[in-house]
Structure 1
Amino acid sequence: MCRQVQRSVTDTVAGARQVVSTAPGSPADVRQAVRYALAGRPGGLSRHDEDAMGDVLLVASELVTNAMLHGGGVTGFEVIPTERAVRLSVSDRSDQPPVAGDQFDDIGRMRVGGRGWMIVCALATDVVVANLRTGGKRITAEVPLSAGPRR
C-alpha cells in the first residue's frame, strides 16, 4: 500500500524556508508551522496549491498524531518546502515501523480511528522511515503542492 524505504538517518535536505520544532504540543501546532513555512514561498500559492494545502496539513496532523499515540511522543518536527512539494519529517521515540490499523474489530464492527497511516500513504508521493542513531525513528513524507490525480 505505501512504498516506504527504511534506512538510517545521515543527511538533511536544505529548503527555502525550513521550520523546525523539537516537540510540538499538538497537531494544531504542526499545522500552524506548516502554514508559516509555506507563507514565505516565492510566488505564493496558486488556487491549485491551496487545494493541495489541505492534503499537506492532513498528512502533518496524522504523522504527529501517530507519533503521540503510538511512538512514545514527538521528539522532532521539520517542514521543508520545495518547489513543487512539502517535505514533512516527524521523529518519535519508537523503533517500530508504522503499520496500517485493522479497519474491523474481532466481531466485524468497523473501528473508529486507525486510518492515519493509510491516509499518509495515500497522499504522500514518497515516504521514508529512518531509524535514528539515538533510538526512535524519523518518518519523512513528501506531499505535492499541486492538486493532481490520486493514486
Structure 2
Amino acid sequence: MCDEHRTEAAPETSVADRHPRTRPCRPAEARRAVERAVSERCRATHTPFKPQALSDALLVTSELTTNAILHGGGITDFHVVVEGRGVCVSVSDRSAALPVAKDHTDPHGRCRPGGHGWPIICRLARDVRVTDLPSGGKQITAVVPLS
C-alpha cells in the first residue's frame, strides 16, 4: 500500500469485533485508546507485548490522527482492534485524497518541515490500507505487530 496506493470498498465489521468506539479529537486521546485496548487484551489473554511494539503502535496512531486533522478535514471515525499479535488502528477523515510522502527539501534545496508521517506509518505497520467510504472521505487502517 505504501509504495502503490490501492483502495477498496469499506469492509463490513460488526460492533462486537471492535474495541468500544470513541472519536478522539486529538492524537493524545487516540493514543490512550490504543494503549488501553492493548493493555486490556494482553491482560485478559496473559499475552506479553514488547514495550517497543506498543511505542510503534502509539506513533502510528499519532501520525494517522494528526494527518486526518491536518490534511483530511478532521477525524470522522476511529477504532482500534487488538487481534492475534497485532493492533489494528483505523482512522477516517473527510478527504478522499490519498496520502503522499513529500520531498524533504524544496526546489532550492532548503529543508521543509513535515512530510514524515506517511513514511513512518508505512515503515512501522505490516499492513496499510486506504478504503474509500460510501459517504465520502476515506479510512486508513494500519496493523502494527505487537511482537
| Compared CA separation, residues 113 and 15, structure 1 to 2 (3 A) | farther
Tell whether 2:30 aligns with 1:27: no
- In structure 2, the residue corresponding to 1:21 is in which secondary structure? coil
Match of 1:76 in 2: 77
| Compared CA separation, residues 51 and 10, structure 1 to 2 (3 A) | closer
C-alpha distance in 1, partners of 2:13/2:80?
11
| Compared CA separation, residues 25 and 14, structure 1 to 2 (3 A) | closer
Q: 1:112 is matched by which residue type in structure 2?
A: P
C-alpha distance in 1, partners of 2:79/2:35?
13
Percent identity at matched positions? Answer: 48
* Structure 2 length-normalised TM: 0.89
> Counterparts in 2 of 1:1-151, with a 5 A limit?
2-3=2-3, 4-12=5-13, 18-22=19-23, 24-41=24-41, 42-46=45-49, 49-146=50-147
Q: Structure 2 regions of 5+ residues with no counterpart?
A: none
- In structure 1, the residue corresponding to 2:6 is in which secondary structure? strand
* Alignment RMSD: 1.9
C-alpha distance in 1, partners of 2:96/2:117?
18
C-alpha displacement of 1:105: 1.4
Q: Which shifted more, 2-11 or 94-103? A: 2-11
Runs of 4+ in 1 over 2 A off after TM superposition: 12-17
C-alpha displacement of 1:113: 1.3
| Compared CA separation, residues 39 and 91, structure 1 to 2 (3 A) | same
C-alpha displacement of 1:19: 3.6
Structure 1, residues 52-72: CA drift from partner, whole Å, max 9, x if none? Answer: 111000000000000000000
Q: Which shifted more, 60-69 or 49-58? A: 49-58
Q: Which shifted more, 58-67 or 37-46? A: 37-46
* Structure 1 length-normalised TM: 0.87
| Aligned length in residues | 143
C-alpha displacement of 1:10: 3.0
